[in-house]
């Protein structure tokens, strides 16, 4: 009886070690860097992504094995579109092209939106750069994000009119409708409405703007879809995310676990912008308040 008990204990211990090893293996290098954040934002992958130079915007492929973002500084004298790829649990950086737009990858991974332009996923990588057709081809779109059903959400920035409203366009019978302005809960009382990111199920919208009662230059806001289909009030993400500095270009990782955003930690010349990340529980906390 004693031997049998010891045998069972030995099996349980071995199973526990196997579970822990499997968990560690599955999480190993899932994201660049050595640690993941809690409810206080941290620079994303210091020394790999974040440096003393300019790192801005970003997008993961759905399998989390590729991370695209913009670099300027060091060996990159001009704004450069780069990618980190996870190869055998090592993250390797390479150049995609010059800066061609702010990347947002569709939730199915088939399209990389780059403002008014885009690339399609192929068997060998990404296609050549393509242009959206009407009704988007004449719009100066900085960032375009699509929901799982294909609805587009985008800004349309004019220097002479910085409070140009955020818009959306539904895909109906294979064609996109004329863009419509979003609700006044999003588009009123704010300037520089930019960089929208829509949740896959359109349950929330993230964007950044300058608002009278904000924390500083530009803050990140969120609005939740209401039961009647309208958009709720614009909610500032709070002083853990927003500071007196410029914060912008928020997005949520494909697994839904982390909120990412960009912050200027340099001077007004924006020579040092970093990508930060934080546990996405912050979104649920705002929704439940």
Look at residue 6 in the predicted model and tell me its pLDDT: 45
Whether the Cβ atoms of residue 100 and residue 59 lie closer than 8 Å to each other:
no
Burial class of residue 76 in the structure, from the number of CB atoms within 10 Å of its CB (0-12 exposed, 13-18 middle, 19+ buried) = middle
Indicate whether 111 belongs to any domain: yes
- CATH (domain of 275): 2.120.10
Look at residue 160 in the predicted model and tell me its pLDDT: 53
Indicate whether 2 belongs to any domain: no
CA distances from 270 to 18, 72, 232, 262 (A): 48, 10, 32, 11
Non-local CB neighbours of 107 within 8 Å, separated by 6+ positions? 62, 146, 147, 148, 200, 254
Indicate whether 182 belongs to any domain: yes
Rounded average pLDDT per 10-residue block, the chain, 289 residues: 47 38 48 93 97 97 97 96 94 96 96 97 96 92 96 81 82 94 90 93 96 90 96 96 96 97 94 97 94
pLDDT single digits (tens) 226-239: 999 999 999 999 99
What is the C-alpha separation between 118 and 104, in angstroms, rounded? 9
Half-sphere exposure of 84 (CA within 13 A, CB side): 24
Whether the Cβ atoms of residue 232 and residue 11 lie closer than 8 Å to each other:
no
What is the chain's length? Answer: 289
Indicate whether 17 belongs to any domain: no
Look at residue 191 in the predicted model and tell me its pLDDT: 81
Helix H segments across the chain? 2-27, 184-187, 281-288
Indicate whether 191 belongs to any domain: yes
Q: What are the beta bridge partners of residue 94? A: 83
- One DSSP character per residue, 155-201 reads ---BTTBTTPPPEEE-EETTEEPPPEEPPHHHHSSEEEEEEEEE-TT
Indicate whether 75 belongs to any domain: no
What is the C-alpha separation between 162 and 158, in angstroms, rounded? 6
Indicate whether 37 belongs to any domain: no
Residue span of the structural domain in which 52 resides: 42-68+102-288
Indicate whether 86 belongs to any domain: no
Whether the Cβ atoms of residue 68 and residue 62 lie closer than 8 Å to each other:
no
Q: Count of domains in the chain?
A: 1
């Amino acid at each position: 009886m004693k031997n049998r008990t010891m045998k069972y204990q030995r099996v349980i211990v071995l199973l526990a070690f196997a579970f822990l090893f499997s968990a560690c293996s599955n999480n190993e290098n899932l994201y660049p860097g050595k640690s993941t954040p809690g409810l206080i934002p941290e620079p994303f992958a210091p020394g790999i992504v974040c440096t003393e130079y300019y790192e801005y915007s970003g997008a993961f492929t759905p399998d989390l094995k590729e991370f695209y973002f913009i670099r300027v500084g060091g060996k990159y004298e001009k704004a450069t579109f780069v990618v980190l790829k996870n190869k055998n649990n090592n993250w390797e950086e390479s150049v995609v092209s010059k800066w061609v737009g702010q990347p947002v990858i569709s939730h199915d991974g088939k399209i990389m939106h780059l403002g008014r332009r885009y690339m399609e996923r192929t068997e060998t990588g990404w296609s050549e750069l393509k242009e959206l057709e009407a009704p988007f081809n004449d719009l100066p779109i900085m960032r375009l994000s699509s929901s799982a059903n294909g609805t587009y959400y985008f800004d349309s920035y004019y220097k002479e009119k910085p409070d140009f409203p955020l818009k959306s366009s539904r895909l109906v019978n294979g064609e996109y409708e004329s863009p419509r302005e979003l609700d006044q809960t999003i588009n009123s009382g704010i300037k520089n409405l930019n960089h929208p990111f829509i949740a896959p199920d359109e349950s929330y919208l993230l964007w950044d703007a300058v608002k009278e009662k904000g924390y500083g230059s530009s803050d990140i806001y969120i609005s939740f879809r209401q039961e009647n289909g309208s958009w709720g009030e614009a909610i500032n993400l709070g002083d853990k995310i927003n500071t007196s500095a410029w914060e912008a270009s928020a997005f949520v990782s494909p697994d839904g676990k982390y909120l990412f955003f960009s912050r200027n930690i340099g001077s007004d010349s924006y020579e040092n912008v970093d990508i930060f990340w934080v546990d996405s529980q912050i979104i649920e906390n705002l929704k439940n308040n």
